[in-house]
Structure formats: structure tokens, C-alpha cells
Amino acid sequence: MRIGLLTSGGDCPGLNAVIRGAVLKGVRTHDAEFVGFRYGWRGLVEGDTMHVDRHTVRGIGRQGGTILGSSRTNPFEGEKGGPDNIRKTMSELGVDSIIAIGGEGTLTAARRLADAGINVVGVPKTIDNDLGGTDYSFGFDTAVEIATEAIDRLRTTAESHQRCIVAEVMGRHVGWIALHSGMASGAHAILIPEQPKTIDEICGWVESVRDRGRAPVLVVSEGFKFAGMEDAHSHKGLDAFNRPRLGGISEILAPMIEERTGIESRSQVLGHMQRGGEPSAYDRVLATRLGMAAADSVHQQQWGSMVALRGTEIVSVSIADAVHELNTVPAARYDEAAILFG
């Protein structure tokens, strides 16, 4: 059994812990060999590999990033793309199966390849926590931790100057990072894509905070839309998969708040800081368990499946079910947090 490993999509703390978990379990329990594909699907399409064995993974469980590299290459595009070419490349390299570690985009591609008869197993990765089929994805806990620390720091400087601060977090089209970091840091309002708001509602919260003598702290998700807005704000062009790059809504919101309320306002986009550096202990454990379970899924030939967290157990679900719809923030979770706004 020779298993190809790849990490695809935005990187995320814990990727290396998955790789380590899969390799150690595969080598020790299933007598498997591993090969790493470099830069996501690109490595598989181009046959660009790196040697991976139990020595390669020594100590990497606590490292950020991914030793394999990542990209947003589409495996169905290009001269060597598509299931027939990929099957040929795999057979030339003696690779009989693939563990694809990625988010909803990567796993959608994995499902299409599995449907075409390629032996693929998925591992859910994303700081956004936007994947169905799993209670949490690794990387999310670390991102929330980093964002919470940043918002705590922004609060003390906002208070010194009696300013309003708008902290912008990632999350693409779901508000999980904003909801959790906002609750953890005691934000006065949390703005998420699932819950469009008017500028009047937002300024109402800001003014009530100011009237109590406090400095308003707002957390906004990059995908937040004002009521009536069709698409999330984007001014940075398209990504490798032709989707609008999000980010920058806080830079629009802060001046609007200042103009309407007279409160000096500042914005801060936290950006890639949320994805960098070491995974939290929680993410290391989750990622290691998922990696180990993925090696088992390959051994059991559960093609088209994904390992997932359900409660405290690691289970196997179908990738198709997991990517069927985004894991959005339920209205009840938002309403619960909103009691604390203003």
C-alpha cells in the first residue's frame, strides 16, 4: 500500500499534525508507505512528489503551515489534469490511493475524482469551520485563539483613546470565527455573513456602548453584508479558482461609524495572521486523530469518504454529504450572542 498525501486550499494550523498522524498510523499498523504530493493537486497532476517516511514527520505535529506546500490548483484543468491522466500518473509513481487534506473546495474535487474511480479519502481542514459533516475542523480553534488575543489587545488601546475599533476576521461566507472570537473577547457587536444588518442598527449598538462610557469593540467577518447588499465586499480581484477575494469590509464600516456617530473609529484587518504559526493543543490532538483515522480509512478502502469529528468520536462520513452545504452559523447561536451586544 503506497499512499499519496496532499494538502490543498488555504493553509491552516494542524496540517502537519494530520500528516504525522497518518504516516505513523499507516507505517506502524498497516505497513503502508507514503509519498507527498507538493503544492496540493498541482503535485498530483504534475507528478511532483517528495519522500515522506516516519523520519520526515518527526516533530512536525507542532509546526504551522504544511511541509508539503499548498495551492489552489484545479485537478481537472490543464494538459495533465482530469481523472484519466491522474490515474496514469499515480500508476507510474506506484501510488494506489490518496489522502486529500483540504476544505470544501478540495473535497469537492476529491469527490469528483472518487466518482471517477480514483481511490481518495478526505480529511477536513479549514480555519473557517464552514464544512458540513464534522462538528469542527482543525485550525478553527487556533484561528479563534489568535483573533481573540488580537481583539483583547485592540480593546485596551481603544479604551485609552475612547475610540471605536472594528476588528475584521476571516471566515469566507460563514461567521464562525467572528462569533467565537467575538464572544470570547466580549465584543459589543458581532457582524456575520448569515445576519445582514443596517448601518443604523450597528450605530445603535456603538452609541449605547459610548453612552455607558465605554469604547465600542466590533468584530466583523470578512463576508459580512449590509442589509440589501447582494455580494460580500471584494476589491482585491479573484483567487486562483476565480472567486472574489474577500476582505476590507471593516475599512468601509469604520469611517461610516465615525461619520454617523462622531466617535473616532479605526479598523484592523487581522488577515493571514489567523492562519499562521503553531496549532493550539486542541487542534494538534484533533488533527492527529483525523490523520490516524484517514490511514485506517485507506486500509479499509473507504473511497469517497471523509474522516470527521462527531461529539468526541472520529467517524467516517461521505464526502458528498460533507460538501453538500456550507456549515453556517445557526440563527439561534447568533441570537444567543446578540443578547450581549450594545
Ligand X SMILES: Nc1ncnc2c1ncn2[C@@H]1O[C@H](COP(=O)(O)OP(=O)(O)O)[C@@H](O)[C@H]1O
Geometric angle at alpha carbon 246, from 180 and 132, rounded to 5°: 50
Stretch touching ligand FBP by CB under 6 A, among 15-23, 36-44, 120-128, 301-309: 120-128
Q: Is 342 annotated as a binding residue?
A: no
Query: Does 11 participate in catalysis according to the annotation?
Result: no
User: Of 84, 96, 128, 141, which one is the catalytic site residue?
Assistant: 128
How far apart, in whole angstroms, are the C-alpha atoms of residue 265 and residue 279?
32
By CB under 6 A, the residues from 71 to 100 that bind ligand FBP are: none
Q: Is 111 annotated as a binding residue?
A: no
* Crossing angle of helices 140-161 and 176-185, rounded to 10°: 50
Stretch touching Mg ion by CB under 5 A, among 55-63, 99-107, 195-203, 280-288: 99-107
How far apart, in whole angstroms, are the C-alpha atoms of residue 334 and residue 144?
16
Q: By CB under 5 A, is residue 103 in contact with Mg ion?
A: yes
Q: Which does 241 bind (CB under 5 to 8 A by kind): Mg ion, ligand FBP, ligand X, none?
A: ligand X
How far apart, in whole angstroms, are the C-alpha atoms of residue 29 and residue 49?
24
Q: By CB under 6 A, is residue 127 in contact with ligand FBP?
A: yes
Residue 4: beta bridge partners?
35, 98
Q: Which does 261 bind (CB under 5 to 8 A by kind): Mg ion, ligand X, ligand FBP, none?
A: none
Tell me the closest approach of the beta carbon of residue 27 to ligand X, in angstroms.
26
Pick from 23, 35, 36, 104: which binds Mg ion (CB under 5 A)? 104
Tell me the closest approach of the beta carbon of residue 108 to ligand X, in angstroms.
4
Between the alpha carbon of residue 182 and those of residues 94, 168, 188, 337, 341, the distances in Å are 48, 10, 8, 9, 10
How far apart, in whole angstroms, are the C-alpha atoms of residue 47 and residue 319?
24
User: Which H or E element spans position 114?
Assistant: helix 104-115
Pick from 3, 7, 10, 150: which binds ligand FBP (CB under 6 A)? 10
Q: By CB under 6 A, is residue 72 in contact with ligand X?
A: yes
DSSP calls for 142-205: HHHHHHHHHHHHHHHHHHHHT-EEEEEE--TT--HHHHHHHHHHT-SEEE-TTS-B-HHHHHHH
Q: Which does 127 bind (CB under 5 to 8 A by kind): ligand FBP, ligand X, Mg ion, none?
A: ligand FBP
Tell me the closest approach of the beta carbon of residue 322 to ligand X, in angstroms.
11
DSSP calls for 267-310: EEE-GGGGG-SPPPHHHHHHHHHHHHHHHHHHHTT-TTEEEEEE
Q: How many residues at the interface with ligand FBP, by CB under 6 A?
A: 15
Q: Is 201 annotated as a binding residue?
A: no
Tell me the closest approach of the beta carbon of residue 170 to ligand FBP, in angstroms.
3
Nearer to ligand X by Cβ, of 101 and 206: the residue is 101
Nearer to ligand FBP by Cβ, of 105 and 216: the residue is 105
Residue 156: CA atoms inside 13 Å, Cβ hemisphere, count? 5
Tell me the closest approach of the beta carbon of residue 20 to ligand X, in angstroms.
20
Q: First vs last Cα of the chain: how many Å apart? A: 58
Three-state SS at 121:
strand
Q: By CB under 6 A, is residue 246 in contact with ligand FBP?
A: yes
Q: Which does 74 bind (CB under 5 to 8 A by kind): ligand FBP, Mg ion, ligand X, none?
A: ligand X
Return phi, psi of residue 68, to 5°. Answer: -90, -15
Residue ranges binding Mg ion (CB under 5 A): 103-104
Q: Give the catalytic positions in this structure.
A: 128
Residue ranges binding ligand X (CB under 6 A): 8-10, 72-74, 76, 102-106, 108-109, 112, 126, 240-241
Report the binding-site residues for Mg(2+): 104
